[in-house]
Structure 1
Amino acid sequence: MKLSVSGRAAAAGVVAAAMLVTGGSVAGASPTAQGAAAAPDIPVAGVKAHLTQLQSIATANGGNRAHGRAGYRASLDYVKAKLDAAGFTTTVQQFTASGRTGYNLIADWPGGDTNQVVMAGSHLDSVSSGPGINDNGSGSAAVLETALAVARAQYKPTKHLRFAWWGAEELGLVGSRHYINSLSAANRSRISGYLNFDMIGSPNPGYFVYDDDPAIEKTFKDYFTGIGVPTEIETEGDGRSDHAPFKSAGVPVGGLFTGASRTKTAAQAAKWGGRAGQAFDRCYHSSCDTTANIDDTALDRNSDALAYAVWELSE
């Protein structure tokens, strides 16, 4: 997530039922799904395996995966190879920012109505000061594992599914803005929803849902209500992540977030656990944003919520 000024104050949380979490893994991936094609449980071990690879890439490339650096391109190549092997049609989109070449990765799942496109995306770049495992390896890995789950299930949704990994988000949403600006008005209008996942494994997590589009917001809230986890409206990242260019272009957007540099309040700690008076992510934009900087339960819940929304919104 790129740096910016704070948004408006956080809203009140949604009251939820008892938790159905066993052994650190959410019990049931689709607690309220009605259709025959219920979303699968996303294996958090699979998501974490991608994070381990992103950490190794950063370690081998100067400690980061930043725009224009070798670590970013290696990260993109890793994700692309997984998607190509799973049967996706992948496209690498090139752009220039701050005098360096950047790349977006777009992956289309064959089939579905291309006049109704459901997109899920995350930024793949880190800041130059660290490996960016929560910001935003967490979102990138969860989107990748969900895409691979689509392939494993040979899912045949009514709508067309597209996944994206953005470059140069940390420089001001450059990659996602380039993508949306490259589309014709007709192709922008074919995107029925864009779901954004930026920092979904914060070590002192909150559970925040974007409130930009009522239908998408309700989909995520339904999931969390079904597993007994209260949520709050996301405000810290307003306009600061890759949903913003889509929203500006008139595309319905939504997403999930577990908090960055803001401090967790006593009320939030009482609701979610964790440490009051400390940042949701004390390693935000720092060298300590490593694989040790991830809360497995938050990563698991949000990955399952991601898949639930993809399945529900593409039926």
Structure 2
Amino acid sequence: MRVRKFALAGVAAAVTATLAVAGSTYAGAATVTPVAPVAAATPPVITAAAPMAHLTQLMNFAKASSNTRVIGSTGFTSTVSYLQSQLTGLGWTTTVQNFTTGGKKAANVIAEWPYGDAAHVIMAGAHSDSVKAGPGINDDGSGVAALLANASAITQSGLRPAKRIRFGFWGAEEQGDIGSSYYVSHLAGGETAKIDAYLNFDMVGNKVENGKAVGWSLYADGQSNGLNTPFKTYFTSKGITVNPSLDTDDRSDHAAFKNAGVKVTGVSSVRSLNELGACYHKACDDLTDVSSDSMVLASNAIASAVWTLAG
């Protein structure tokens, strides 16, 4: 999650981009056909092992890159390569969208589960970069790891949803939502209207106090459009009371979709933006800054919502 709000206007002028794959956003993307599926009516339970393994990999990338995964660093490049290899190996149609901002190279990774109605897309996302000062394991390795765990769960369950499921891993969020804004502004005509919902996961791994999460919140945007309902249902089933109306000040990647008219919401493991944690945007935002319990809750809350919204 970034420090200040940036407007979508002018992003295209600030970004010089080259698609890694020629043609439309998804044309020519590498595809691996999954093994014949078994339909799953409910999501499998995601254990801590899956997201924590991904966070360990992200931390290793940061360690080899002066303790950072900021855009332009080898830590960020390794993160992008890891995302592409993991998702392609799971049978997702995966595209890397390269761009340059502020003279530094960055990239988005877009992954789509190749089943369901492509005219009705449920999209979820997290930013894959950190600030220069630290490895960004909670902000936002936690969101990345939770989505990767969900991608694996979808593949292993052989899910055949009514709607298409698409995940976005955004570069340069910390520079002002550059990656997500670039993606939205460069969608082909009519493609934005096909996105029924965008769910954002930025900082979902905060440590727990007395066995419970520091505080779970749902974005205020999801109150009126019904997108918060499956999250509320999940957290209620775990005996957790959430703040149902976190005012994010549009300080993350959902803003680009919201400004384009897409219904949005998101989840965060904080009560308010005044409680982002002692290691927020610092070198200590490492594996000690996240809780495996929070990662389990976040991963399964995402699964519950995606299964419900995608039908």
TM-score normalised by the chain length of structure 2: 0.84
Q: Give 1:164's aligned amino acid.
A: G
Tell me the percent identity.
42
The 8 Å contact of residues 217 and 272 in structure 2, kept in 1 or not, is answered as no
Question: Equivalents in 2 of 1:65, 1:37: separation in Å?
Answer: 37
Q: Secondary structure at the match of 2:284?
A: coil
Q: Give 2:199's aligned amino acid.
A: L
Alignment of 1:188-207 (within 5 A): 188-203=192-207, 205-207=214-216
Partner of 1:137: 141
Task: Write the deviation string for residues 268-288 of structure 1: whole angstroms up to 9, x where unpaired.
Answer: xxxxxxxxxxx4421000000
Backbone CA RMSD of aligned residues: 1.7
Question: Equivalents in 1 of 2:271, 2:66: separation in Å?
Answer: 24
Question: Equivalents in 2 of 1:262, 1:237: separation in Å?
Answer: 7
Flag structure 2 segments of 5+ consecutive residues without an equivalent. 6-38, 209-213
Q: Give 1:3's aligned amino acid.
A: V
Partner of 1:124: 128
Alignment of 1:12-91 (within 5 A): 37-91=41-95
Task: Write the deviation string for residues 220-257 of structure 1: whole angstroms up to 9, x where unpaired.
Answer: 11111122100003435330000000000000111100
Q: Secondary structure at the match of 1:55?
A: helix
Alpha-carbon offset, residue 259 of structure 1: 2.4
Question: Equivalents in 2 of 1:80, 1:260: separation in Å?
Answer: 33
Partner of 1:253: 264
Question: Equivalents in 2 of 1:105, 1:230: separation in Å?
Answer: 33
Partner of 1:220: 231
The 8 Å contact of residues 98 and 107 in structure 2, kept in 1 or not, is answered as yes
Match of 1:101 among 102, 105, 115: 105
Question: Equivalents in 2 of 1:141, 1:258: separation in Å?
Answer: 14
Question: Equivalents in 1 of 2:154, 2:215: separation in Å?
Answer: 27
Alignment of 1:153-168 (within 5 A): 153-168=157-172
2:277 matched to 1:285? no
Match of 2:217 among 208, 222, 225: 208
Partner of 2:152: 148
The 8 Å contact of residues 173 and 241 in structure 1, kept in 2 or not, is answered as yes
2:244 matched to 1:233? yes
Is the deviation greater in 93-102 or in 158-167?
Answer: 93-102
Partner of 1:272: none
Q: Secondary structure at the match of 2:119?
A: strand
Match of 1:300 among 284, 296, 302: 296
Q: Give 2:188's aligned amino acid.
A: S
Is the deviation greater in 160-169 or in 197-206?
Answer: 197-206
Distance 1:74 1:114, change over 3 A: same
Question: Equivalents in 1 of 2:201, 2:165: separation in Å?
Answer: 16
Q: Secondary structure at the match of 1:107?
A: strand
Flag structure 1 segments of 5+ consecutive residues without an equivalent. 6-34, 264-278
Question: Equivalents in 1 of 2:136, 2:247: separation in Å?
Answer: 18
Aligned residues: 271
Question: Equivalents in 2 of 1:280, 1:169: separation in Å?
Answer: 17
Partner of 1:242: 253
The 8 Å contact of residues 206 and 280 in structure 1, kept in 2 or not, is answered as no
Q: Give 1:211's aligned amino acid.
A: A
TM-score normalised by the chain length of structure 1: 0.83
Question: Equivalents in 2 of 1:109, 1:262: separation in Å?
Answer: 33
Q: Give 1:81's aligned amino acid.
A: S
Alpha-carbon offset, residue 262 of structure 1: 4.7
